[in-house]
Structures are given as C-alpha cells and as structure tokens.
Amino acid sequence: MIAIVTKRTCDRLLLCMMSTLLASTIAIGQNQPGASGQKQPGMPDQQPMNPGGTSHDASFATADKDFVKKALEGRSAEVELGRLAQQKSQSEDVRQFGQKMVDDHSQLGDQIKPIAQQLGVKEPKEPSKKDMQLIARLGALSGTQFDEAYIQAMMKDHKQDLKEFKDEAQLALDPSVKQVARQGSGMVSQHLRLIEQIAQRHNVAVDSKSKVSGRTH
C-alpha cells in the first residue's frame, strides 16, 4: 500500500514539474524579440508618416525667396519713380515724398540684400517688366498730370505692398525674412498714410480704371 501511494505521488509530482516547465517555456518564447507586437532585431523603428510635411516647408521656403526677389524689384522701382517725382513734379510735397521713397527704399534694400545672398536669391538688375512700363508711362508726363498719375500709382502700390509685407511677416519660414518683412510693413504703412494725405491735398482719388496702373509687387 505504501509503495503504491509513493509511486502515485511521484507520478503526480513529475506531471506537475513537466507542466510547470512547459508553461515557463511558453512564457519565455512570448517575451523573445520577434514575438507579436515586438520589434524584430535589426529592423528600424517605424516612424509615424507625415506626408506633406517636407513639401509644406519647401513651399514656404520658396515663398520666402519669391518675396525677397519681389521686394528687391520693388525697391528698385520705388527709387526710380521717386527720382522721377523729383524731376517731373511741380509740387513740393510730391517731390519730398519722392525723395523719401529714394531714401527709405534704398535703406530697406540694403537690409534685404544680405538675406537674398543667404537664401541664394540673385539680386535683380532692374525693376520688373511691369514696373518698367509704369516708369515709362510716368516718364512721359509732367506737371499736374504727372502728380495725379504718380499719387494714384503710389496709393495702389503701397496698399498692395502693405498686405504682402504683413502676410510675409506672419508666414515667413526664415527668421531674417520675417524680421525684415515686419520692419518693412511699418515703413510701407507710414508711406501709405503720407501719400493719402498728399492725395487729399491734391484732390486725387484712386481710380481703378486709370490708364496708369500701379505696380504688382
């Protein structure tokens, strides 16, 4: 009887040990690399996809370059038009405004040129074709005709420029572009107030159907 009990007890102990060993083996296998939900050896971590992220940054970088190029073209046009105002106008306030355009836009251009070099933007040698057309049209006028056309053009230009400078000050990716756009918007805003005051004194209203159109900066 004792022998039988001892044999049964040993069989049960052996069975328990085998069960425990099997369970341990399964648990170890589940914790090994390559199990479900685990990273395989040598496999790179999976990064979340961000489609459009790179193109988004690239588009803003391109916009910064376009802004800088247009700002340099606009600077050249404002200087040329300002010189015309000093030569063609018979009004002291218009001539003074023209001189201010030469001084302020030359200074702004000096601030933008180093940024253009950093961004790889080639400095334009002359105003845009549209600006050249405007300069040619105003150059053919003189006296009160020139004053009216110049004032109209300056009001249109500065309203458009102010919007573009403010937009770039908010959306620019490059910190240097953002800063110069912020500074430029303050300058353009001041110019717009001045030319509007001059327009009131000369009884000049902006006419969207005017033959002398403003720049598209």
pLDDT by residue, tens only, the chain of 217 residues: 434 344 444 454 455 555 554 455 545 455 555 444 444 444 444 444 444 445 556 676 899 999 999 999 999 999 999 999 999 999 999 999 999 999 999 999 999 999 999 999 999 989 999 999 999 999 999 999 999 999 999 999 999 999 999 999 999 999 999 999 999 999 999 999 999 999 999 999 865 444 444 454 4
The gap between the terminal CA atoms of the chain, to the nearest Å, is 110
Per-residue pLDDT at 156: 95
Per-residue pLDDT at 205: 87
pLDDT digits over 46-91, tens only?
444 444 445 556 676 899 999 999 999 999 999 999 999 999 999 9
Per-residue pLDDT at 131: 95
- 205: alpha, beta or left? (left if phi > 0; alpha if psi -120 to 50): beta
Integer-rounded Cα Rg, in Å, for the chain is 37
Which uninterrupted H or E stretch holds 183? Answer: helix 175-201
Per-residue pLDDT at 216: 41
The dihedral through the CA atoms of 101, 103, 108, 110 has a sign that is: positive
CATH topology of domain 59-201: Ferritin (1.20.1260)
How many helices and strands in the chain, by DSSP H and E? 6, 0
Compute the distance between CA of residue 150 and CA of residue 50 in angstroms, rounded to an integer.
50
Per-residue pLDDT at 9: 46
Per-residue pLDDT at 30: 52
- 125: alpha, beta or left? (left if phi > 0; alpha if psi -120 to 50): alpha
pLDDT digits over 176-190, tens only?
999 999 999 999 999
